[in-house]
Structure 1
């Protein structure tokens, strides 16, 4: 029997980062911003882990209504038995990685374009 998450949340320390992404107008919802943060963490090669102390924010059905996110996580992290627990961890790690610690909203454009430059992708 799986002990996978039924709800997904953000650790209190990363809530301000999520709020800054929304207030800067980069995303239409906290969930969109959290999914972007998750993708950023994946792009940085963050290994699987657990988010300790994440408060409930979204139901898994809201985060992944068609189970496509689950399929992506299972493909990228085949060792995981709890893909939604990993989604939560990656969202939180991505927010942590995006924190500039200077009080300013995370630089979403910089994240996108620096990632492209680092991989040698054409502009």
Structure 2
């Protein structure tokens, strides 16, 4: 089994920032479709379990729902072997949730499109 090198800041695609637009399911699927193996995407910064739970989250309801959908899509993509999901601790109760692109399974085209649809 090979050794994975740590992900550096330069290798992480920041699709959203603290005040930037929120990543949605379509953005995640688009990134997965074009990402090269080993490329990484931070799809959330914070504490996912808290931020996606309405009774304790400080996020607005629409951001909570988007986060729930993106997290579920990331999990489905991992189940389809399209990405690895990892976390990096940023501080107390703060994490970066990262999707790392895996090699695309089989030939691209319709087969990959179907896997992406299943993951979305």
Higher relative contact order (CA 8 A, sep 6+): 1
| TM-score normalised according to structure 1 size | 0.29
Higher helix share: 1
Higher strand share: 2
| TM-score normalised according to structure 2 size | 0.29
